[in-house]
């Protein structure tokens, strides 16, 4: 068992997750509005999708990879519409309503599913993994499924580590936000998420 594959995977997963895009903004907003658990679960949804894309690239599943890339217009279109929906919904959500929402059992499941779905609909994720794996000479390693599995596990650990750091770090500031502050968090994050969604829709064409 080569520990270097695990370390490489952790670095790759952390590096791909770290740039603050729409998923990062969504996790920050959920952490501030609903608590660290919601921010972390949202991050785990993204980490799970990262692991799936890492597996596609790591195991050299070129058929699936080529299909996803060829369908990137539709993926961006679906993801863009969903981002716009989340952005507008967040923009008009009042803090009092949000407090009522966190009491629903489906809350954590919905938080996980939404970021999982959004990450899967971003074709740039598979392109990023494929490029990094190829550049490091890690893709298409014949009959070395153990190494690929270790590498993908590292990707999940690295991605999860970033979301833990983000949710815990942002959670430290949560108590400083009153209802007025959370109202502006919803407005700003909703606007940013909507802009990301509009950009995805434009880039789809």
The DSSP code sequence of 83-116 is HHHHHHHHHT--HHHHHHHTTSTHHHHHHHHHHH
pLDDT tens for 158-193 read 999 989 988 888 888 776 766 666 667 667 777 877
Is the pTM higher than 0.75? The answer reads: no
φ and ψ at 144, to 5 degrees? -115, 60
The DSSP code sequence of 139-180 is TT-TT-HHHHHHHHHHHHHHHHHHHHHHHHHHHTTGGG--HH
pLDDT tens for 6-32 read 888 888 888 778 766 788 888 888 888
Distance CA 38, CA 45 (A): 11
Distance CA 31, CA 78 (A): 25
- Lookup: tokens for 175: 């108590």
């Amino acid at each position: 068992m080569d520990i270097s594959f695990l370390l490489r995977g952790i670095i790759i997963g952390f590096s791909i997750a770290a740039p603050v895009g729409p998923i990062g903004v969504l996790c920050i907003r959920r952490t501030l509005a609903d608590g660290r658990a919601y921010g972390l679960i949202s991050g785990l949804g993204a980490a799970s999708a990262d692991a799936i894309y890492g597996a596609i690239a790591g195991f050299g599943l070129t058929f699936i990879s080529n299909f996803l890339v060829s369908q990137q217009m539709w993926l961006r279109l679906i993801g863009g519409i969903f981002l716009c929906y989340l952005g507008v919904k967040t923009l008009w959500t009042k803090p009092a309503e949000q407090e009522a929402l966190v009491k629903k059992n489906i809350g954590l499941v919905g938080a996980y599913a939404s970021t999982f779905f959004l990450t899967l609909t971003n074709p740039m994720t598979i392109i990023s993994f494929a490029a990094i794996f190829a550049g490091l000479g890690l893709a298409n390693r014949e009959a070395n499924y153990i190494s690929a599995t270790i590498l993908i596990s590292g990707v999940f650990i690295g991605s999860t580590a970033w979301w833990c750091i983000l949710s815990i770090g942002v959670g430290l500031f949560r108590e400083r936000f009153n209802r007025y502050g959370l109202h502006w968090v919803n407005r700003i994050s909703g606007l940013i998420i909507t802009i990301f969604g509009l950009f995805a829709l434009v880039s789809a064409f």
